[in-house]
Amino acid sequence: MPTQLTSEQVDSIIKARSVLPRAIAVINGKGGQGKTTCTAQLGSLMAEALRSSESTGRVLVVDMDPQGNLGLDLGYQGTPGDDGGMSIVQSVMGPSKLTPIRDVRPNLDALPGGDNLEMVPGILVARGASGSLDDARMSFLKAIADIAPAYDWILFDCPPLEPMLQDLALITARWAVSPVTFDEGARQGLAKVSKRFTKAAELNPELELLGVIMYAFAKTGGDEEVGQRKRIRAKLEADLRKVGSEAPVFKQVIRRIDSAAEASRERGQVFTELESATDGPKWWDVRAGRVTGTVLPTERAATLADEFQALAGEIFGRVLEKERETA
């Protein structure tokens, strides 16, 4: 990356980012931290809030991961329009129009990821060798900026092990949130995010960590935070202070409920949809041997739906608070 951008490049970046004030990257440098789940749940909740208020506003979720699991969570994988990330690839190669899948939920569109994104690191390495790496990154930024006026919020689901794809999201986003589980590797993943911030800063000095999400924790101690939750929160807060960040560890903790998470991904439903599902076998029929199958964990899905609703209020509310402070 060049140490100094031309005035034309700077003007281009400023113009592109001016339409992206509510773009959020969901990122952690370690796998299994709930990035995809958080992107799907938060994006769906915001879209539902817009729909319920009869707003014409829309939300876009962008899958930057070659695994493409956001398509599983939202149920669009393999449907018409799922290009396996080719639209994103073309936007890195040069001027190209991005083509999201419309209405994966009311007021919610999705830009698919998938296997084709495996080409992006090679493309960026080649562009770097020719001295045009910044042009490739700005090409993606401009492509997102071209469609951004149609959206109130944009969320990027970032891959854990592809730093060049992470960089594309961080160069484009205004904010970042980082889900973190209880293990030590998760905190190391958060440290890797700090390094990505440093690399992204030349093209995106406005990028800011919005906060850290405590994800997949056991529920203990009733309303009072004790034990593991209390210890990990203290460690995360210390980690943030160490790198000079004022970002909070969000109050709402997302608990671990494997049965609800598994059913949600298998059915392509977010937790608010799974909690109201009625098409699964009833436990009393399964026990009596009248039917077979897995009973839907609707009550547990309702628990997670409530927790994500509270988390969404914190995250989106913090963005609005930051906007008021800037204004």
DSSP secondary structure, 25-92, as one string: EE--SSSSSSHHHHHHHHHHHHHHHHHHTT----EEEEE--TT-THHHHHT-TTSTT--TTHHHHHHH
Q: Given the structure tokens 């709930």, which residue do they identify? A: 34
Find the helix or strand (DSSP H, E) in which 133 lies. helix 133-147
List pLDDT tens digits, range 252-309. Answer: 999 999 888 999 999 999 999 999 876 764 434 345 555 555 647 788 899 999 999 9
Q: Would 168 be classed as within a structural domain?
A: yes
Q: Would 266 be classed as within a structural domain?
A: no
Q: Would 234 be classed as within a structural domain?
A: yes
Largest CA distance in the chain: 74
Q: Quick one: pLDDT at residue 60?
A: 98
Number of domains into which the chain is organized: 1
User: Degrees (nearest 5) of the Cα angle 273, 212, 267?
Assistant: 20
DSSP secondary structure, 242-269, as one string: HTT--PPBPSPPEEP-HHHHHHHHHHT-
List pLDDT tens digits, range 211-257. Answer: 999 999 887 655 667 788 889 999 999 999 988 889 999 999 999 99
**Of 88 and 12, more confident:** 88
Q: Would 304 be classed as within a structural domain?
A: no
The alpha carbon of 172 is separated from its chain's Cα centroid by a whole number of angstroms, namely 13
Residue of 270, 296, 301 lying closest to 285 (CA atoms): 296
Q: Quick one: pLDDT at residue 285?
A: 38
Q: Quick one: pLDDT at residue 288?
A: 52
Q: Would 302 be classed as within a structural domain?
A: no
List pLDDT tens digits, range 5-60. Answer: 677 766 777 777 787 889 999 999 888 899 999 999 999 999 999 999 999 999 99
**Of 184 and 142, more confident:** 142
Say how far apart CA 36 and CA 61 lie, in whole Å: 10
Q: What is the average pLDDT value for the chain, to the nearest integer?
A: 88
Q: Where are the alpha helices (DSSP H) in 154-226?
A: 163-172, 184-200
Say how far apart CA 108 and CA 59 lie, in whole Å: 5
Q: Quick one: pLDDT at residue 46?
A: 97
**Of 212 and 189, more confident:** 212
Q: Which residues are paired to 105 by β-bridges?
A: 108
Q: Would 114 be classed as within a structural domain?
A: yes
Q: Quick one: pLDDT at residue 201?
A: 83
| Residue 320 DSSP SS3 | helix
Q: Would 319 be classed as within a structural domain?
A: no
Q: Quick one: pLDDT at residue 183?
A: 79
Residue 198 predicted with pLDDT over 80: yes
Start-to-end CA span in the chain (Å): 32
DSSP-derived pairing of the beta strands 23-26 and 153-157: parallel
Of the candidate ranges 128-137, 155-164, 317-326, the one whose mean pLDDT is the lowest: 128-137
Residue of 273, 263, 259 lying closest to 302 (CA atoms): 273
Q: Quick one: pLDDT at residue 5?
A: 61
Q: Quick one: pLDDT at residue 165?
A: 95
Q: Quick one: pLDDT at residue 47?
A: 97
What predicted TM-score, i.e. pTM, was given to this entire model? Answer: 0.90
Q: Would 123 be classed as within a structural domain?
A: yes
Residue of 314, 179, 159 lying closest to 256 (CA atoms): 179
**Of 145 and 190, more confident:** 145
Q: Quick one: pLDDT at residue 221?
A: 56
Structure tokens at 80: 């018409």
List pLDDT tens digits, range 99-153. Answer: 999 999 999 999 999 999 999 999 999 988 888 888 899 999 999 999 999 999 9
Contacts 24+ apart (CB under 8 A), 118-121: 118/66, 119/89, 120/88, 120/89, 120/92, 120/162, 120/164, 120/165, 120/168, 121/162, 121/164, 121/165
Q: Which whole number is the average pLDDT over 299-323? A: 94
Q: Which amino acid, one-letter code, is at 285?
A: D
Q: How far is CA 263 from CA 72, 114, 161, 295, in A?
A: 11, 22, 26, 10
Q: Quick one: pLDDT at residue 3?
A: 44
Range of the domain at 247: 7-256
Q: Which amino acid, one-letter code, is at 124?
A: L
Q: What's the CATH code of the domain at 245?
A: 3.40.50.300
